Structure 1
Amino acid sequence: MTEPPQPPNQPPTPSGYGHLPGPPQPGYGYPPQGENPYAQQPQGQPQDQPQGPYPQQPPQSQPPQGPYGQQPPGGYGFPPPPPGMPPMPYQQPGPPAKANKKAAALIAAAVAGVLVLATGGYFLFAGDGGKGEDHPVAQDSTAPTDDKASPSASVDKGDGSGNGGGEKEDLNAGRKQGEDKVLWFKTSKIDGPGSGVDSKGQWIVGDTVVKTLWKSVTGYGVADGKEKWTLTLPTVICGVTDQSTDGKTVVMYKDGESDSAHCNQMRMIDLKNGKEGWSHEVPKEGLFDIFTTPELALTGDALVVNRMGTTSAFKVSTGDKLFDNKRTEGCQPGDFAAGNGKMIAIATCQDADRTVQVMDADPATGKNTWTYKLPKGFTVKTIYSLDPIVLDLGNSEKKERSIVVLGPDGQQRTTVSGDGSFPSGCGGTFDRSLQSCGTSYVDANTLYLPTAAEAGKANEIVAFDLTTGKEKWRSPAGEGRTLTPLKAADGQVFVYRKAEYDKGGEVLTIPAGGGTPTAVLRNPSGPAAPVESSFYSPNVDYADGRLFVSASHLLARNKDEKLLMVFGK
């Protein structure tokens, strides 16, 4: 790979993340997000070719397929650095990309002022010495049909005692010493449209895990998987966010059954008890306001609905409109990002350079108090965090990239120095999931990034200090499996180690200051491992000692397909 041109009178610099210029001078400054294994889609997925942070890696010799069906498998450098600061070599992003996070990644659980932008997890050692007490059999449960649904679409809900109509199988059979259990497992049998059906939403609220599937939202008990409630919407669910406020969230569904129907209907849902709240239509803000794949984000009582160049904000509590992005002067904001009580907007100016700006936004009014201007040609690829603000920027034409940290006043605080081995964000022309496409995690002062995975090799989790921008530590590589950060809590970073056909996944913890990983959950091998490893583009969450792995898209070809798998002690 050729080195980028060096500034005059400066020695060549090693490959790595570049750095944006320091505080801008007058005329440049602050005017009044093979296959990418990390691209998660907890929201707004799948794309034309769905993918996620845990893509299926077929073994060399593929064993016979089990009863639960098989999901289809599915860089930038940086702006000119100041003296002594190295540029980062270009890394080609994978195909278009929410678990995640669980971001990927991006999107989002708050822990002590932290914004989760991707999902991931770590493992747990426990078990009964392989005796296999309380081994569950696969269970079947999925959304009921809607009487307004297409006549060709049907759902076999089953009675919850089998695996969806196929052969029964004890997923905990032959557990090894130290392995934990499959607590329960849900499958679905749907005869749906040729493109399949989405199942993107997953929330854990108290003792309930909530999952969307096509036109329905269903709550299950986290301990036993028993269905607690189900809501059926009039049409297909077409927009979700992994965020919630006091257990309440908003989903979007279409205004009709036809192929030309718009995704412009909102409904608030109380995830704790399955109660439906208000329903409203998102008003069209202009001639070119297109409702195809809106992206949702919320913080506190504010929900933003992003479309192509248009945004509207509403109260989560009442559905009343708060503001939109139309402005009479200045650069017009496009997409808004929200979380942890914070909100920012990304604006593209109509000047010759198509300058991009980042600005803060009041969640109640949308008004801004500061503006950060990006260098010429740069756009925001991924938003890793809003508190602190951590942005992954890229210039596709020059193949440059930079990760910057902004202070609460919008001033550039630092840039992250890396070696170029990290996958870039997924913010492309047709992918605006800036908060939900990565597999990274940010706590109060640390950015945790996974390095790119290579076949047969383990990747690493790298921690960066957000004050200095320098690397703090790297997790020890091992076992040749993909690691993805899930969350940080109680002085630990929780990481998910991907399952393989003959190895169950694991949840690990690493001390926030670095150190040896410790297993806190070890999923069983045997018949459970091939099921866990074949989830394609899954949503992954770890809460209260349980690991939740669920599908984000089903083929819906009237065959049993895995929907939700839960592991624990």
Structure 2
Amino acid sequence: MTQPPPPPPNQPPQQGGSDTPQDPRPAPGGGFGPPPPQQPAPQPPQAPAPPSGPPQQPPGYGYPQAPQQPNPYAQQPPAAPGYGQQPPAAPAYGQQPPPPNPYGQPPGQNPNPYGQQYPYGQQPPGHGYNQPSLAHPAAGPGKGGGSRTSMYIVVAAVVAIALIVGGGLWYSSSKDDSPQVSSAGPTGGGSTGDDNKGGTGGTASGGTEKAPSDPAAKPLFTVPMPAVSDDDTVTVSGSWLTDKVYAKSGVAEIVGRDPDSGAQLWTVKLPGPVCEASRQASSSGLTAILYEPAMPTKAKPSHGCTEVSAIDLNAGKKLWTKNVTNGDQVVNLDNVTVSASTVAVGSTSGGAAFDLTTGKALWAPKPADTCYDAGYGGGAKLVAVRKCGPYDQRVLHIQTIDPKSGKVISEWQMPGGIEYASVVSTDPLVVAADVGDSAGDGSGISDFFSVDNATGKLLARISAPGDDYAARCDGITRIEECSGLAVGKDRLYVPTEEHDGKAKYSQTNEVVAFDLATGKETGQRADAGDGYTITPLRMDGANLIAYKKPPYDKGGQIVSIDGGTFKQTKLLENPATGESHDAESTMLPDYAEILYSQGHLYMSAVFAHKPSSADQKEYLAIAFGTGA
């Protein structure tokens, strides 16, 4: 699978959770002991500009590819046992107590590169910060947590999303009749609510995206990269699309724009930078974000990701702001999602939830709990990833919970020895994990698990070796951070890794489908085409919406893949030359947020930094649209 990007620099000290290799028991007078020393923030190197002609070496697609990352997790020391009584640990992989473990190798150190993801980013490098997370007071193992420290390394891939060459784009407009509420990480990923309505994976019904008479797209507008200081890299993750607004996070702000012209409609100012943004939004256009309470300074590079707010995307208003405490400690939050009328946030200190409209607290961490909700997946249902046991004896519980009360509806306990898991989709429920650190490519995925929401029964385990399939998940802190894949009814859609195409130096790949009931491939394959690389974005009824990254002399495409026949229909094709092509080539699908609806394509960065040269133009977001 593809190599994930690193996280942003200036990570704050972590607190809370039982992953920490230090003693997580409460210090006298409350709290969880002293924080670890602040790590210096390395500076990202600059990448070369994309070439203007055919490649002379076999570099892929004619513009820079993301470099491989070192593994910051390869030598993690085991944590001391968490305070309080721990529940019995499940046997680790490779041991033989009855019943035997069917999943293979024992957990161990991964000798392969393992970079940290953006969030959602899509995210050039993963987007957001790596702060601790929260939990809910539901049935099952106790809720709450101890403490955790995570250290990340920022390397050259951070600039894979940074470079845009040439001048600005020109403006045009097109009519967008009814774009639906949507949001995305690096390339969307997973499935949310309405995208699954109307038909099964074998019946192409319920889709709303229609092919235009002419799929040729024109640039609609650009958003310039916000100004930052010479040595800063600021998180700007988060983008959403409603029938009224295209909204995008900037530096300590969120700006809503007209979906056609890009005209600014509103601005929500924040006291500090956004560190996480929900991929989900309600049908009325409400979503949620996490952000710092103040702007970073040289003296204090981070103030922690402690604030959660709900945002009305259509009205351009911040509805409320809250933070979460565990005992007398304000908790650093790792992830945020929306399901029904609930905002759920997770951390290594436990999980919490608030009413989306009013901000009323629904549940919060309990200091005495010996387990904690590391995070949540939202959308059609609310799913918690609940962790119990010390670092080297972890037991993960996948819980479908009631979004109002936090009550556990169903629960599946993952096999022992799995330290991290990601929620790919909540309905149907699909979870990804790197079993025994066997993926070998830093993608966070070696296997997918299909689970029955109602009963908590495991339906199928789907093996997805990193050498064969290209998708990414970051279950380390960002539970819902999966990209490059989609789930629709009874199918999981995953791209293959790139391989040689027919033309000299060309690369290509395919999208394949797995049956969630059996775990087997259905035999359906959608070819990207010579020189293109195809990446699933989301479902449209039973059809799959995908982005095709182009070769150097073509424009990118959006296609709809029929869920039954796998026939492809071109919905949009970007210009093959010019400044817009150069701009698109920097928004790589692994490292950019990509939204598509009703003939409109929006691509945006998740990190802002200063250009490497005075004549270099960079963009926070670019938009394309087809004619009426």
Q: TM-score, normalised by structure 1?
A: 0.70
Q: Structure 2 vs 1, CA of residues 105 and 276 (structure 1 numbering), >3 Å: closer, same or farther?
A: closer
1-side partners of 2:196 and 2:532: how far apart? 30
Partner of 1:556: 610
SS at match of 1:530: helix
User: Which residue pairs with 1:334 in the alignment?
Assistant: 374
The change in CA–CA distance for 1:352 and 1:71 in structure 2 (over 3 A counts) is closer
Give the counterpart of 2:564 among 501, 510, 513: 513
Which one of 249, 256, 265 corresponds to residue 307 of structure 2? 265
Structure 1 Cα separation of the partners of residues 488 and 401 of structure 2: 22
Please state if 1:530 is matched with 2:530.
Answer: no
Q: Secondary structure at the match of 1:191?
A: coil
Q: 2:265 aligns with which of 228, 232, 242?
A: 228
Say if 1:253 and 1:199 are closer, same or farther in 2 by CA, change over 3 A: same
Q: Is the 8 A contact 2:381 2:400 kept in 1?
A: no
How far apart, CA to CA, are the structure 2 residues paired with 1:343 and 1:441? 17
Q: Deviations over 1:312-357 (max 9, x none)?
A: 2111111121112437567443323222133333222359733222
Q: CA 1:191–1:488 in 2, change beyond 3 Å: closer, same or farther?
A: closer
Separation in structure 2 between the aligned mates of residue 502 and residue 477 of structure 1, nearest angstrom: 16
CA displacement at 1:264 relative to structure 2: 1.6
Q: Cα offset for 1:504?
A: 1.0
Q: Kindly provide the amino acid, as one letter, of the partner of residue 599 in structure 2.
A: G
Tell me the alpha carbon deviations over residues 132-168 of structure 1, each in whole angstroms, 9 at most, x when there is no partner: xxxxxxxxxxxxxxxxxxxxxxxxxxxxxxxxxxxxx
2: distance between equivalents of 1:233 and 1:330?
A: 35
Stretch deviating more after TM superposition (344-353 or 453-462): 344-353
Question: Cα 1:352–1:322, aligned 2, differ >3 Å: closer, same or farther?
Answer: same
Unmatched tracts of structure 2, length 5 or more = 12-40, 56-62, 68-91, 123-183, 198-208, 440-444, 501-505
- Corresponding position of 1:487: 538
Between the aligned partners of 1:202 and 1:492, the Cα distance in structure 2 is: 23
- 1:437 maps to 2:482: yes
Shift of 1:562: 1.0
Q: Which secondary structure does the structure 2 equivalent of 1:525 belong to? A: coil
Deviation of 1:379 (Å):
3.5
Deviations 1:489-546 (A, max 9, x none): 2442111001444321001121102333222211111112121011252110110111
Equivalent residue letter for 1:197: V
Q: 2:544–2:562: 8 Å Cα contact kept in structure 1? A: yes
CA distance in 2 between partners of 1:566 and 1:252 (Å): 25
Correspondence for 1:175: none
Equivalences for 1:401-420 in 2 at 5 Å? Answer: 401-407=446-452, 408-416=454-462
For 1:87 and 1:453, how far apart are their aligned partners in 2? 27
In structure 1, how many angstroms separate the alpha carbons of the residues matched to 2:330 and 2:469? 35
| Amino acid across the alignment from 2:619 | K
Residues 380, 391 of structure 1: 8 Å contact kept: no
Q: Distance in 2 between matches of 1:552 and 1:50?
A: 16
Judge conservation of contact 1:102–1:541 (CA < 8 Å) in 2: no
1:236 to 1:449, Cα distance in 2 relative to 1, 3 A = same
Aligned-residue RMSD, C-alpha: 3.9
Deviations 1:377-414 (A, max 9, x none): 12443221111111113333566943211112111112
Report the equivalent of 1:20: none
1:7-22 equivalent positions in 2, closer than 5 A: none
- 8 Å CA contact 2:275, 2:291 repeated in 1: yes
Match of residue 161 from structure 1: none
**Greater shift after overlay, 208-217 or 180-189?**
180-189
What CA distance in whole angstroms lies between the structure 2 residues aligned with 1:220 and 1:231?
A: 12
1:387 aligns with 2:427: yes
d(CA) in 1 for partners of 2:619, 2:532:
22
Size of the alignment, in residue pairs?
459
Q: Give yes or no for contact 2:547–2:559 (8 Å, CA) kept in 1.
A: yes
Aligned amino acid, residue 546 of structure 1: H
Once the two structures are TM-superposed, the CA of residue 204 in structure 1 deviates from its matched residue by 0.3
1:123–1:523 Cα contact (<8 Å) kept: no
Question: Hey, what's the Cα distance between the residues in 1 that align with 2:9 and 2:458?
Answer: 32
Q: What is the match of residue 349 of structure 1? A: 389
Q: Distance in 1 between matches of 2:415 and 2:541?
A: 38
> Which moves more between the two structures, 348-357 or 468-477?
348-357
AA in 1 matched with 2:407:
K
* Native 8 Å contact 2:376 2:479 kept in 1: no
Change in 2 beyond 3 A, CA 1:307/1:333: closer
Supply the AA of the counterpart residue of 1:306.
G
Q: CA deviation at 1:367?
A: 2.6
Looking at structure 1, the residues matched to 326 and 350 of structure 2 have their Cα atoms a distance apart, in angstroms, of 7
Which residue number in structure 1 is paired with residue 134 of structure 2?
none
Distance 1:60 1:357 in 2: 51
Contact 2:385 2:398 in 1 (8 A): yes
Q: Does 1:544 align with 2:598?
A: yes
Alpha-carbon deviations, 1:223-254, whole Å to 9, x = none?
Answer: 22111112222222223112112211222332
Q: More deviation in 446-455 or 92-101?
A: 92-101
Q: Tell me the distance in 2 between the aligned counterparts of 1:126 and 1:56.
A: 38
Does 2:332 match 1:278?
A: no
Residue 432 of structure 1 deviates from its aligned partner by 1.5
8 Å Cα contact 2:336/2:344 also seen in 1:
yes
Structure 2 distance, partners of 1:104, 1:337, is 16
Task: Check if 1:316 corresponds to 2:370.
Answer: no
8 Å CA contact 2:484–2:494 kept in 1: the answer is yes
1:199 aligns with 2:199: no
Letter in 2 for 1:301: S
State yes or no: 1:300 paired with 2:320: no
Q: Check the 8 A contact 1:289/1:310 in 2, yes or no.
A: no
In structure 2, do the counterparts of structure 1 residues 384 and 275 end up closer, same or farther at CA, with 3 Å as the change threshold?
Answer: same
Residue 61 (structure 1) shift? 6.5
Q: Is the 8 A contact 1:313 1:324 kept in 2?
A: yes
Asked if the contact 1:405/1:466 (under 8 Å) is kept, the reply is yes
Q: Which residue of 1 aligns with 2:399?
A: 359
Offset of residue 193 of structure 1: 6.0
Query: What amino acid maps onto 2:490 in structure 1?
Result: N
SS at match of 2:527: coil
Distance across 1 between alignment mates of 2:116 and 2:436: 15
**Contact 1:439-1:449 within 8 A present in 2 as well:** yes
Q: Letter of the aligned partner of 1:359 in structure 2? A: Q
1:470 to 520, 527, 543: 520
2:385 partner SS: strand
Aligned residue type for 1:95: G
Alpha-carbon distance change, 62 to 352 in structure 1, aligned in 2, over 3 angstroms: closer
Matched, 1:110 2:193: yes
- Opposite residue 251 of structure 2, the aligned amino acid is W
1:278 is paired with a residue of what secondary structure?
strand
Indicate if the aligned counterparts of 1:460 and 1:476 stay in contact, CA closer than 8 A. Answer: yes
Distance 1:398 1:501, change over 3 A: closer
Q: Which residue does 2:157 correspond to in 1?
A: none
- CA displacement at 1:294 relative to structure 2: 2.5
